Amino acid sequence: MANNQWENAILETWQVHNRSMLFLIENLPEKALETTLSKRGGRSIAAQLAHCIDVRFFRMEAFVKKHQLDFVAFQKGYIPGKTELLNAFVDSGNIIDRLILESLNTDGKAPHFARGIVVMIGYYISHEAHHRGHALLTMKESGIKIPDTLKWGVWEWNTL
């Protein structure tokens, strides 16, 4: 596989993952957003998704400032709604696209990630997949029916 094909495959892997997060949010029943399994004040599903955005921002803060991009994390303790979450995942996903392309076309380095951009992408995918799974488990354990579209759709990487 030529270098450019690898770069495209790496970028596409990230983009499919980001679309899986958007798919999750789009298909969450509204009442699920405030649901938590914690008995001690743990994060609701909306708060977990906001946390994912906060982690994205933390890792990209230097890149965002360098390029004067418009992206900020949610304020600590703020619980965003569905539209805010969707917008944040779209905006940050686009910025990460740009970061990936810039990194792959230069030195492969990534801000706040000594092992480089490919490992950073793996980190994001692992971290966010953990929270996606936790959101689905929270719904299931809380008695909220997971729509079949959502249950199976997050795994349809050939169509996402």
47-102 per-position pLDDT tens digit: 999 999 999 998 888 888 888 988 878 998 899 999 999 999 999 999 999 999 99
- Sequence-distant (≥ 6) Cβ neighbours of residue 158 within 8 angstroms: none
Q: Is residue 47 domain-resident?
A: yes
119-142 per-position pLDDT tens digit: 999 999 999 999 999 999 999 999
Q: Is residue 48 domain-resident?
A: yes
Closest of 20, 47, 11 to residue 149, by C-alpha? 20
Least confident of 38-42, 60-64, 134-138, 143-147: 38-42
Count of domains for the chain: 1
Q: Which domain holds residue 73?
A: 3-153
> What is the mean pLDDT of the segment spanning 140-158?
93
CATH number of the domain to which 128 belongs: 1.20.120.450
Instruction: Output the pLDDT for position 1.
Output: 57
Q: Is residue 119 domain-resident?
A: yes
